[in-house]
Chain A
């Protein structure tokens, strides 16, 4: 148990709440960027023993990607689309925060019930990871704009990454790099798609993409 780890995990939870509570897209992009950097630091903080090149490269790589590249791609998409905020989400912000609180309590409860192996460094790791995954899913279904859905996807990925963060080293280096590369391409492709959607439809509201059914 180490105070820095817990602080970073609390930061992870708070930035996730920011995403649930706000419809100002730029602020949300910044919150997710900050979360990405915090996750990179978490990788370093949770590592026991000497820092290997493997860990440092991964942490720096994911920080650069999530803290700089992704926000840049998404800000560009926002600039092109000239969208400032999420108007009328499916679920109101107040209700979103309340759902977030319920999800957090459930995650903490499940975390207290599960007998996790002793190598998990902090009791908070599992609940905060689970909460982040749930909140990411919630944002994907509860928001209309394509950018918010991408942010939800990123938060979901961050949650899964938090699960795995105590186990860096189980996965071979190349696989971790491959995972990061896939994430990078995913966000890149989604960014280009948002650009096309905006050009084609003059909006990025995914609820109006409804001509295909049945």
Chain B
């Protein structure tokens, strides 16, 4: 069953290879992502509260933490796939998205979905690494769908920086394997996460600490945490908008998910001294502050959204570092940020097509020129900077409470400083873009019903989660937080 989850997208892509028009290929992708979501729901529903039992010799499993991330992944993919359908419909008309390109796009899009699912389902930490590296390689060409020199430059930086980064994560994985062989006497199954967690207290603390530093550098690079984020603004700004949406909406989180798996192991081996949590807190605060500085002086819309990703991944890292309630807030924030960023990138992409640029000084009066996308972008900005009543406001509030509970005053002050800077900086851009004067005519291109559903679904969920949290979601996040806290 779990194996089918990884295999389905790949087989779906292969089956659709022979389709003869670019539009059909995009429809096929949407259908495939719907089928995959249905299968995910089925697996989760059959598994019950504790997740599905391990499969494939214990290598694949599904617990609350992976269930939760799987749900976020499917939400982001569903929205971006339908977003991509609308986005590329325009490119097909202009003639920049021909059939061979569409086929390549569909294959890589579905294969990336399979790779990210593999990361989430792996019980074997080595297999998890393989999946993560595969996402780098599969998504690299997605950046270069628009064959421009700048996209090529972004793709090269992305490939090289992330490959080197992930190589360090492999070193960390090897060190964990060494610690497991020495401490638990396990051979052959040294990297099974469930076994490692049971025996975490017997792992050698020094080796685990060294391993965690390598893992933090490695997976941190892929997650875009400052100061390892250099590839991120380039890749996000040059990739087509739906690809930026899955990059920002889930690929970064997948990498952070890998770190979440290691936190209870390292904390367990060091006797819950909070060593790993302190590191996460530090890198999180640095990310927030660096991103805030860049957001203030940004002119390119998609780069602005990219720096928001650095900021919010930093917020999630801070939440993880605070522990307890902070972990809960971090997980909740993951969902909110992913939805919000998907909305932001999809709207930015369509507005970019209408204005022919992503320069924010030229993109004024968006609300009048293209009502749906203009409002969508404005609302996504309001949500991103943490305005009430959107869900991000709630998760950031919870995080502040966690910081006060943990008596982490320095973190609290820096967190507030960073988010306040972002609030002011981004709001200035957002208002100018939405209501600034413009002399162009209203866009002739009317948004389709599907576009309307995608935008309003994102906004509705963000508002709803800000006001009320459904019980099943609450229970899943709590169970996931307990797994990271190592209390189960």
Quick check: B164 and A193 within 8 Å, CB to CB? no
Binds A, one of B166-174, B243-251, B354-362: B166-174
Check B126–A178 contact: CB distance below 8 A. Answer: yes
Of A78-86, A90-98, A152-160, the one touching chain B: A152-160
Q: Judge whether A62 is part of the interface by a CB distance below 8 angstroms.
A: no
Q: A179-B126, A189-B137 are in contact. Are A212 and B150 (CB under 8 A)?
A: yes
By a CB distance below 8 angstroms, the chain B residues around A170 are 177-178, 180-181, 187-188, 190-191
Judged by a CB distance under 8 angstroms, whether B320 is at the interface is: no
Report the bound CA distance from A160 to B153 in whole Å.
27
**Contact yes or no, B160 A211, CB < 8 A:** no
Give the most central of B141, B153, B233: most A CB within 10 Å: B153
Contact A172 B126 (CB under 8 A): yes
Tell me if B163 counts as interface (CB < 8 A to partner A): yes
Beta-carbon contact of B127 and A178 below 8 Å: yes
B160 and A140 contact, CB distance less than 8 A = yes
CA distance A86 to B56 in the complex (A): 48
Against A, the Cβ 8 Å flags (1 = close, 0 = not) of B185-197 are 0011111000000
Q: Chain B's nearest CB lies how many Å from the CB of A213?
A: 9
Let me know if A175 and B294 touch, CB within 8 A: no
Known: A172-B124, A185-B137, A189-B140. A209 touches B153 (CB 8 A): yes
Q: Which one of B127, B134, B181 contacts A174 once the chains associate, using CB atoms below 8 Å?
A: B127
Q: Which of A117, A163, A196 is the one whose CB lies under 8 Å from B171?
A: A163
On chain A, which size bracket covers the interface? 35 or more
B298 contacts A by Cβ under 8 Å: yes
Q: Tell me which residues across on chain A come within 8 A of B178, comparing CB atoms.
A: 117, 167, 170
Main secondary structure of the interface of A (DSSP, over half): helix
Task: Please determine whether B130 and A182 come into contact, CB atoms closer than 8 angstroms.
Answer: yes
Interface residues of B in 457-480 (CB under 8 A from A): none
A163-214 residues at the B interface, CB under 8 angstroms:
163-164, 167, 169-172, 174-175, 178-179, 181-182, 185-186, 189-190, 193, 196-197, 200-201, 206, 209-212, 214
> Which of A146, A171, A186, A210 has a CB less than 8 Å from the CB of B133?
A186
Partner pick for A179 among B130, B141, B298, CB 8 A cutoff: B130
Complex partner residue of A212 from B129, B140, B164, B237, CB under 8 angstroms:
B237
A179 contacts which chain B residues (CB < 8 A)? 126, 129-130, 170
A193 adjacent to B155 (CB under 8 Å)? yes
Q: Are A160 and B181 in contact (CB under 8 A)?
A: no
Which chain B positions have C-beta within 8 A of A133? Answer: 171
The answer to whether A172 touches B191, judged by C-beta atoms less than 8 angstroms apart, is yes
Instruction: Tell me the minimal C-beta distance from B186 to chain A in angstroms.
Output: 9
Q: Give the interface size bracket for B toward A.
A: 35 or more
Contact across chains for B238 and A212 when beta carbons are under 8 A apart: yes
CB closest chain-B residue, reference A140: B164
- Docked Cα-Cα span, A101 to B163, in Å, equals 26
In the complex, what's the smallest C-beta–C-beta distance from A131 to chain B, in angstroms?
14
> A68: CB under 8 A from chain B?
no
The reply to whether A163 and B174 contact each other, CB–CB distance below 8 Å, is yes
Partner of A214, one of B163, B174, B294: B294
Residues on A with C-beta less than 8 A from B174 are 160, 163-164, 167, 171
By a CB distance below 8 angstroms, the chain A residues around B300 are: 214
Interface string of B317-329 (1 = CB under 8 A from A): 0000000000000
Report yes or no: B177 in contact with A167, Cβ–Cβ below 8 A: yes
Is residue A149 within 8 Å, beta carbon to beta carbon, of the partner chain?
Answer: yes
B182 with A160: CB separation less than 8 A: no
Query: In whole Å, how far is B135's beta carbon from the nearest beta carbon of chain A?
Result: 10
- Among residues of A, the one whose C-beta sits closest to the C-beta of B186 is A170
What B residues does A153 contact at CB under 8 A? Answer: 160, 163-164, 167
Tell yes or no: B95 within 8 A of A by CB.
no
Whole-angstrom CA separation of A186 from B159 in the bound complex: 8
- Whether B396 sits at the interface, judged by CB under 8 Å, is no
Q: Tell whether A175 pairs with B126 under 8 Å between CB atoms, given A146-B156, A214-B303.
A: yes
Q: In this complex, which of A140, A149, A181, A182 has the most chain B Cβ atoms within 10 angstroms of its Cβ?
A: A182
- Is there an interface contact between B170 and A200, defined as CB atoms closer than 8 Å? no
Instruction: Tell me which of A160, A171, A181, A201 contacts B191 (CB under 8 A).
Output: A171
Quick check: A200 and B189 within 8 Å, CB to CB? no
- Is A156 within 8 A of B177, CB to CB? no
Contact A190 B167 (CB under 8 A): no
A137 proximal to B (CB < 8 A) = yes
Cα distance, A197 to B159, chains bound together (Å): 13
B440 at the interface (CB under 8 A from A): no
Shortest distance between the CB of B84 and any CB in chain A (Å):
22
Q: Counting CB contacts under 8 A, is B234 at the interface?
A: yes
Residues on A with beta carbons closer than 8 Å to the beta carbon of B303: 214
For the complex formed, measure the closest distance between the CB of A167 and the CB atoms of chain B, giving whole angstroms: 6
**Are B156 and A206 in contact, CB atoms less than 8 angstroms apart?**
yes
Minimum CB distance partner of B128 in chain A: A175
CA distance A147 to B224 in the complex (A): 25
Verify B130–A178 contact, CB threshold 8 A: yes
Contact status B298-A214, CB under 8 Å: yes
Kindly report which residue of chain A lies nearest to residue B238, judged by CB atoms.
A212
Contact of A157 among B141, B149, B167 (CB under 8 A): B167
Does B152 interact with chain A (Cβ within 8 Å)?
yes
CB nearest neighbor in A for B307: A214
A193→B152 contact, CB < 8 A: yes
B136 surroundings in chain A (CB, below 8 A) = 186
Given known A189-B140, A200-B149, contact A212–B154 (CB-CB < 8 A): yes
Binding site for A on B (CB under 8 A): 124, 126-127, 129-130, 133-134, 136-137, 140-141, 144, 149-150, 152-157, 159-160, 163-164, 167, 170-171, 174, 177-178, 180-182, 187-191, 233-234, 237-238, 294, 297-298, 300, 303
27 A–B contacts from the bound complex (CB under 8 Å): A117-B178, A133-B171, A153-B167, A160-B171, A167-B174, A169-B187, A170-B180, A170-B188, A170-B190, A172-B189, A174-B127, A179-B130, A182-B130, A182-B133, A182-B134, A185-B134, A186-B159, A186-B163, A190-B160, A196-B152, A206-B156, A209-B157, A210-B153, A211-B150, A211-B153, A212-B154, A214-B297
4 further contact pairs, Cβ within 8 A, besides A157-B167, A172-B124, A190-B159: A156-B164, A172-B189, A189-B140, A201-B149
The 6 A-B pairs of least Cβ separation, nearest first, read A175-B126, A178-B130, A209-B153, A182-B133, A212-B234, A170-B177
